[in-house]
């Protein structure tokens, strides 16, 4: 009987196939990180992957699809790190905020390769809808996490207009972290991870003095 390849990845055949697909995505990310999107040609990518020209057409149809797969992969890296730190953090709102800040500034995402890739795609974001969507780490998912952490703290603290302030604090924190990434992009050598962390907490502590100091969340009861 003619079994149409079912791509389960169980047999050696499709394992090798999948590995080559991965190699293309990784080579693309390397290329984008080092040369930028404009200079990331098919020839350059396949040379780095050590594969043949035709592979891109076989796995992705077009170069644009390959770029799309690459930015999807970059997006995963970010959310994986965030998920890990959120799981490690305790349940209190201040610990959630603490985890968000530390994951954003962690070496797993805030490194030369990742930030180069990130801003390369962002530079092309205005025209390509997919790029814009996937490049926006600070999307609704992220916003909701932060907002729902700020709100109970502000309410308990008795801040007037807690809802409005919570939204402002959320947008401010997101913008601040984004700006830190940018600073890293332009001055990777001078960048000081601890200082960036301290700055973020200083700003937040101004709005939530009961919950934060410049050193991080207070009254930590972290389980782990």
220 binds a copy of itself (CB under 8 A): no
**9/179 with CB nearer a copy of itself:** 179
**85/134 with CB nearer a copy of itself:** 134
| Burial category of 44 from C-beta neighbours within 10 Å (exposed 0-12, middle 13-18, buried 19 and up) | middle
For residue 179, the minimal CB distance to a copy of itself (Å) is: 3
Beta bridge partners of 216: 213
Window 30-49: residues binding a copy of itself (CB under 8 A)? 33-39
Side-chain-side CA neighbours of 132 within 13 Å: the count stands at 5
Beta carbons of 178 and 138 less than 8 angstroms apart? yes
Task: Give the span between the Cα atoms of 73 and 50, in whole angstroms.
Answer: 20
* Measured CA distances, 125 to 43, 59, 171, 175 (Å): 24, 24, 20, 18
For residue 2, the minimal CB distance to a copy of itself (Å) is: 43
DSSP assigned state of 153: H
By CB under 7 A, the count of residues binding DNA is: 32
User: 3-class DSSP state for residue 120?
Assistant: helix
22 binds DNA (CB under 7 A): no
- Options 32, 33, 51, 222; binder of DNA; rule CB under 7 A: 51
- Options 8, 12, 126, 224; binder of DNA; rule CB under 7 A: 12
**20/182 with CB nearer DNA:** 20
**37/77 with CB nearer a copy of itself:** 37
Footprint of a copy of itself (CB under 8 A): 33-39, 116, 119-127, 132, 135-136, 138, 165, 168-169, 171-172, 174-180, 182-183, 185-186, 195-196, 198-200, 202-203, 205-207, 214
């Amino acid at each position: 009987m003619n079994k149409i390849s079912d791509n389960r990845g169980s047999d050696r055949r499709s394992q090798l196939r999948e590995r080559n697909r991965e190699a293309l995505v990784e080579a693309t990310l390397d290329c984008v990180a080092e040369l930028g999107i404009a200079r990331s040609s098919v020839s350059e990518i396949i040379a780095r992957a050590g594969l043949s020209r035709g592979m891109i057409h076989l796995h992705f149809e077009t170069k644009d699809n390959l770029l799309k797969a690459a930015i999807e992969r970059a997006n995963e890296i970010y959310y994986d790190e965030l998920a890990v730190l959120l799981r490690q953090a305790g349940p209190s709102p201040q610990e959630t905020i603490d985890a968000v800040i530390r994951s954003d500034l962690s070496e797993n995402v805030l490194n030369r390769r990742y930030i180069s890739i990130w801003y390369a795609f962002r530079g092309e974001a205005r025209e390509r809808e997919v790029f814009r969507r996937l490049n926006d780490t600070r999307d609704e998912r992220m916003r909701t996490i932060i907002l729902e952490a700020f709100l109970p703290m502000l309410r308990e603290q008795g801040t007037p207009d807690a809802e409005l302030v919570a939204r402002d604090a959320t947008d401010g924190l997101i913008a601040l972290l984004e700006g830190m990434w940018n600073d890293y992009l332009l001055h990777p050598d001078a960048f000081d991870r601890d200082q960036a962390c301290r700055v973020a907490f200083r700003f937040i502590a101004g709005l939530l003095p009961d919950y934060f100091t410049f050193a991080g969340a207070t009254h930590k009861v972290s389980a782990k």
